[in-house]
Homo-oligomer: A and B are copies of this chain.
Amino acid sequence: MSKVEPKIMSGFMELTPENQIKFNYMYDTIKNTYESFGFLPIDTPILEYSEILLAKAGGETEKQIYSFKKGDTYISMRFDLTVPLSRYVSQHMNDITFPFKRYQIGKVYRGERPQKGRFREFYQCDIDVIGNGELSIAYDAELPCIIYNVFKKFAFGEFVIKINNRKILNGFFSSLGLSEQVTDILRIVDKIDKIGAEIVKEELIKIGVSEEAADRILYFINIDGSNDEIINALKNLNIENEIFNKGVEEIEQVINYLRMFNIPENNFKIALSIARGLDYYTGTVYETNLVDYPELGSICSGGRYDNLTSYYSNQTMPGVGISIGLTRLFDQLMDNGLIEKIQTNSSIAQVLIVDADNSNFEYVSNVGNILRQNNIRTDIYYGDKQLKNKMKYANKLAIPYVLIIGETEKNESLVTIKDMVSGEQNLTTIEEAIKIINKK
């Protein structure tokens, strides 16, 4: 029979079990942290009616969406978890308790041109808080507090959550008479870390910004210092614009709340250059960077929006959300050798039991049952291979202990426990073996 070459499409991540276990550890850490703040899980379909998913999309995003027709139905694959959340909240509005704190972790799809670091299938780990009509600004501080807790647990080194407020940006540009060009200006300004101030200025002038305004814009986005210094500098601009002042007030509140949450000051920072999803966010926006790995870009982003459900409902539902792009993050951690820092054995068997002379099945099974009753993940090697081969299996899978069971062990109701790291080997009781295994 002719064979089909076994391969997957580019842009799709597939891991070895060893790395999958590390990935799952990160997944679980995120999930458990989200739950520890009272967020509730939902799980929406990956396939939805195209008219639902495309209600808002357009331009580049729409081109990337996997869409097809089955029978008479136009179907699309979700490309984020926010549009499905919007549909979910609109559909189930009467059954939901507000503020609705939901998390969803799942795969999303974008048919992008494959390139390093871009994925066509990737996990998003989203939390959002949705209010019915109104939503306290304290939630704008709770989300970075949660993200702080996640990355603290990961221990990939120093990180900083950058915070800005779209009202500050909108108000500032409005005060320069540039309201109509905000989107274009932000797109240019967003690139400052990549292309530098000079080219940003050139590009601003190219779209019709006066040289004076361009200088003010550059002065503005370069405002730096401690969080308090930045807030003072903003106030000292003496801009008489209601939106601007509202934004400064909000960012000051968020900073104060973060301090009351006890988040160390070096883990959050006002950064006036970040803008995020230009037509979407309306208040606080976030990005997160690993200090020693700036080349990773933002590993966690989000912000506040005025109305989640405008495409499907007449209710006004403000919300604030943040998302970790886990697949991309994991890929970058692999590239930078950082996943070695994930010391987890949360899914690997803690012990392998081997039958030394292939005639002690019943006793082997009993020992296995006892270990599992003691919550020890226990693999048993079946088959009449030589002992050597069975030890090799444990070694390859990095199982830390092997229990060797032969005639003697069976007759005396004992086990021989071998520490696969030290090589040490002892005849002992099952109870003692349990203690040794649990100690690691």
Chain A contact residues, CB within 8 Å of chain B: 1, 3-9, 12-17, 20-21, 23-24, 35-38, 40-49, 51-52, 55, 66-68, 70-71, 73, 75, 87-88, 90-92, 95, 97, 99, 101-102, 107, 109, 111, 120-121, 131, 134-136, 138-139, 142, 149, 257, 260-262, 310-314, 347-349, 352, 361-362, 365-366, 369, 372, 375, 377-384, 393, 396-397, 399
Contacts of A138 in B (CB 8 A): 361, 382-383
Closest-by-CB residue of B relative to A312 is B6
Bound state CA distance, A30 and B399, in angstroms? 21
Bound state CA distance, A380 and B261, in angstroms? 12
Contacts of A102 in B (CB 8 A): 17
The reply to whether A136 and B384 contact each other, CB–CB distance below 8 Å, is yes
Contacts of A12 in B (CB 8 A): 45, 47
Contacts of A101 in B (CB 8 A): 379
Partner pick for A20 among B42, B45, B314, CB 8 A cutoff:
B42
The reply to whether A362 and B260 contact each other, CB–CB distance below 8 Å, is yes
Partner pick for A139 among B23, B120, B142, B382, CB 8 A cutoff:
B382
Partner pick for A92 among B16, B120, B377, CB 8 A cutoff:
B16
The reply to whether B42 and A17 contact each other, CB–CB distance below 8 Å, is yes
Query: How far is the CB of A436 from the nearest CB of chain B, in Å?
Result: 18
Contacts of A41 in B (CB 8 A): 17, 20-21, 24, 347
Partner pick for A37 among B47, B71, B99, B379, CB 8 A cutoff:
B379
Closest-by-CB residue of B relative to A311 is B4
The reply to whether B6 and A136 contact each other, CB–CB distance below 8 Å, is no
| A-B residue pairs, 3 tightest by C-beta | A38-B379, A68-B68, A138-B382
The reply to whether A95 and B16 contact each other, CB–CB distance below 8 Å, is yes
Bound state CA distance, A382 and B393, in angstroms? 53
Contacts of A44 in B (CB 8 A): 8, 14
Closest-by-CB residue of B relative to A21 is B41
Query: How far is the CB of A343 from the nearest CB of chain B, in Å?
Result: 17
Contacts of A134 in B (CB 8 A): 383
Contacts of A135 in B (CB 8 A): 383
23 contacts between A and B (CB under 8 A): A3-B313, A3-B314, A4-B52, A6-B313, A7-B52, A9-B48, A9-B75, A14-B88, A15-B42, A16-B92, A20-B43, A36-B372, A36-B377, A36-B378, A40-B397, A41-B347, A66-B75, A99-B381, A99-B393, A131-B383, A134-B383, A142-B382, A260-B365
Query: How far is the CB of A358 from the nearest CB of chain B, in Å?
Result: 10
The reply to whether B46 and A107 contact each other, CB–CB distance below 8 Å, is yes
Partner pick for A377 among B35, B68, B377, CB 8 A cutoff:
B35
Closest-by-CB residue of B relative to A113 is B71
The reply to whether A49 and B378 contact each other, CB–CB distance below 8 Å, is no
Closest-by-CB residue of B relative to A109 is B47
Partner pick for A5 among B46, B109, B131, B312, CB 8 A cutoff:
B312
The reply to whether B347 and A40 contact each other, CB–CB distance below 8 Å, is yes
The reply to whether A9 and B43 contact each other, CB–CB distance below 8 Å, is no
The reply to whether A366 and B262 contact each other, CB–CB distance below 8 Å, is yes
Closest-by-CB residue of B relative to A68 is B68
Contacts of A48 in B (CB 8 A): 8-9
The reply to whether A310 and B257 contact each other, CB–CB distance below 8 Å, is no
Bound state CA distance, A372 and B262, in angstroms? 13
The reply to whether A8 and B107 contact each other, CB–CB distance below 8 Å, is no
Residue among A8, A17, A21, A314 with the most chain B CB within 10 A?
A17
Contacts of A68 in B (CB 8 A): 66-68
Contacts of A312 in B (CB 8 A): 3-6
